Amino acid sequence: MKFIHAADLHLDSPFLGLTSLPSSLLTTVRQSTFTAATRVFDRALAEQVDFVILAGDLFDRAEQSVAAQAYLFQQFDRLNSAHIPVIISFGNHDYLADQHQTVAYPANVTTLGANVSTHTLTLNSGEAVAISGFSYPQRWVTTDQLADYPVHAATDWHIGVLHGAVATGSADHYAPFHVADMLTKRYDYWALGHIHHHQLLTEQPPILYAGNTQGRSINETGEKGAYLVTSESGRLVPQFFTTAEILWATATLRSAATDLRQLTTELTAWLTEHVAAQSTLTQLTIAGATLDGTDLASVRSGEWLTLYQRTHARQLKAAQRYLINVVIAAQPANLTAPQIDAAYWEQGAATIFAPANLQTTFGKLAQEPALAAWFAQPATRSQLTDQAQHLLAELTGKEGHDEA
């Protein structure tokens, strides 16, 4: 028996954290989620797998993408023609919503219901496979669903499908679970979705996240793909295969540059040394450069990067890298202001970086959902604090500079 376990296709979802893209890349980016998913389905057809499990987040229901739906219909039809069943467990993004699912997917597609249910397939080889799982009825599933999963059925194989995250104990919105509970079910395989980095929670039986098929932000670096699972002497052995059209990567350029001309030369040299295997959106951190205020500002504002991309398009293309932004690592902050006691700065910081003040300062912008979402992220506050310290450090440096 042979099947494919994929998850988090996030069809037609935009790439996050980009400010501009060259038009040559734009089309590729727009198609990338589809291209990656197509690779999954192509593999399914090429390997003539017995079935395909999609463990949630095939698309973002809120985004109401026509292209995503049309694509799914088309691909499911393809699999249907090859008599390959598809088992879908909808996740937090593509949660079950009856209002639009009036036109059902082709007959080979089984969508697991809001309650845990078991779907049994009889393969051409005569083997019987039980697949248990559920779909999110809405954005959040806050309770542990594992109790509803049956123990290993009297079939040759039993596979669990779950879109969720390991329980942390608080604010668990995504079907929290414990691996130990999974083991008690004595399934042959757990096909997980939701976490975008493919990873094994246990080796035997395989409990694993397929990860998403195409990274969509700088937080989703590394190889992206799905698992081809094959039975070998009574065990299911997953084999990862890559599908991503575009990779994301962070990189650090150790620099000794003191001005932008040197930095440009260094970056060009770095690019020739670090040619990517495929198109890679790269976030570059420059460490060690000692630039003056103007140069720093030029880098910070992205002016320098824009200019670089315009003048070094050939080198970037050769390296298969598109620099999404360049971050200058801050010189070690020296918060000892010459004229004001450090204690007063700390005292000031305590009031200023208090959430209440942040919220007040953020003010009306909280009404903007996109900004509010960013502001609500836990990392934002520390980010703001860091940046404020950096800025202050710069101001202090400036003061010192003026005095000299």
Partner 1 sequence: MKLNRLTIYGFGHFHDRTFDLSTDLNFLVGPNEAGKSTLTQFITSILFGFPTKKHPVLRYEPLDGSRFGGEIQFTQGSATYIVTRMDGPRGGKVTLHNETTDLELPANQLANLLAPVDAQLFANVYAINEPRLGEVFAASKQELIDRLRHVGAVGSDFWLQQAHQLDRQADSRYKPQGRNPILNQQLQEHRELTAKLAKADAAYDTYWQLLQEQQDFRQQQAQMQATLRHQRQVTDQLTQQAARWSAFTEWQRLGQLAQAPVPSGFTAADATQLEQLRGQATAADQALAADQQRLQTLQQDAQLPPLFQAYLPVAAQMDPLLATLTTTRTADSDRQRLAASQHDLEERAGTIEAQYATNGQMPRPFSLTTTQQVAALQERLTTASQKRRRLQQQLNQLNERFQQQQPVRQQQRNPLADKQIIWLAVGLIVLIGSLFLPGTLFKLVGALLGVAVGYYGVFLVDSSTPASREHDELTADIRDVQAQLREGGHLVDDLNNQLDVIGDAHGLGDLPTEQWSAAQAAITEWERLSHQMEATHAQLVKAQQQVANFLTAVGAALPSLAGENFQTVAPQLAELQTLKQAIQNQAGDLATVAERLKTDQITADQAQQALAAFLSTRNLRSVTAFYDHYQAQRERHNQAEQRTALATQIGAENLTALQQVTDQTSLTQAVQAAQTQQAQTQQALDLTTAKLATLAGQLTHLTASGTQATLRQRLANLETQMVATTQDWLVQRLVSQWIAATLAAASGDRLPQIVTQASNFYGKLTENRYTEIELTADTLRVKRADGAWRTVGQLSRGTAEQLDLAVKLAFAVVMQQQVAMPLVIDDGFVNFDAQRRQAAYALLAEISQHVQIIFLTADTAVEQLRTGNLIRLND
Q: Are 9 and 37 in contact (CB under 8 A)?
A: yes
Given the complex with partner 1, which of 71 and 134 has the nearer CB atom? 71
Query: Smallest distance from the beta carbon of 109 to partner 1, in angstroms?
Result: 15
Q: How far is the CB of 336 from partner 1 (least distance, A)?
A: 13
Return the residue of 15, 187, 189, 322 that touches partner 1, per CB under 8 A: 15
Q: Which of 178, 287, 307, 344 binds partner 1 (CB under 8 A)?
A: 344
Q: Is 10 left (phi over 0), alpha (psi -120 to 50) or beta?
A: left
Classify 363 as helix, strand or coil: helix
Regarding 364 and contact with partner 1 (CB under 8 A), the answer is: yes
- Residue selected from 35, 45, 47, 65 as contacting partner 1 according to rule CB under 8 A: 65
Total site size for partner 1, rule CB under 8 A:
61
* Cα(331)–Cα(350) distance, integer angstroms: 23
Between 277 and 370, name the residue whose CB sits nearer to partner 1: 370
The 87-106 contact track toward partner 1, x by CB under 8 A, reads -------------x-xx---
Cβ neighbours of 394 (radius 10 Å): 17
- CB-nearer residue toward partner 1: 17 or 204: 17
* Residue 32 within binding range of partner 1, rule CB under 8 A: no
User: For partner 1, what does the binding mask look like between residues 279 and 308, x meaning CB under 8 A?
Assistant: ------------------------------
In this structure, what is the dihedral angle of CA atoms 317, 320, 326, 332, given to the nearest 10 degrees? -130
Q: Does the footprint of partner 1 cover residue 111 (CB under 8 A)?
A: no
Give the closest residue to 365 by CA, choosing from 352, 354, 375: 375
The Cβ of residue 131 has, within 10 Å, a number of other Cβ atoms equal to: 27
CB count in 10 Å sphere of residue 143: 11
> Closest by alpha carbon to 137, among 88, 177, 97, 89?
97
Q: Does 107 bind partner 1 (CB under 8 A)?
A: no
Kindly report the three-state secondary structure assignment for every residue of 54-120: ECCCCECHHHCCHHHHHHHHHHHHHHHHCCCCEEECCCCCCCCCHHHCCCCCCCCEEECCCCCEEEE
Q: Near partner 1 by CB under 8 A, which window of 139-147, 161-169, 229-237, 332-340?
A: 332-340
Stretch that binds partner 1, among 70-78, 151-159, 167-175, 243-251 (CB under 8 A): 70-78
Amino acid in position 358: L
φ/ψ (deg, to 5) at 179: -60, -35
Residue 70 makes contact with partner 1 by CB under 8 A: yes
- Compute and round to an integer the Cα radius of gyration of the chain: 25
Among positions 367-386, residues that touch partner 1 (CB under 8 A) are 368, 370-371, 374-375, 383-384
Structure tokens at 228: 């081809």
Closest approach of Cβ 24 to partner 1, in Å? 14
Task: Give the residue with the Cβ less far from partner 1, 18 or 167.
Answer: 18
List residues near partner 1 by CB under 8 A: 12-21, 26, 29-30, 63-67, 69-71, 73, 100, 102-103, 337-341, 343-345, 347-349, 351-353, 357-358, 361-365, 368, 370-371, 374-375, 383-384, 387-388, 391-392, 395, 399, 403-404
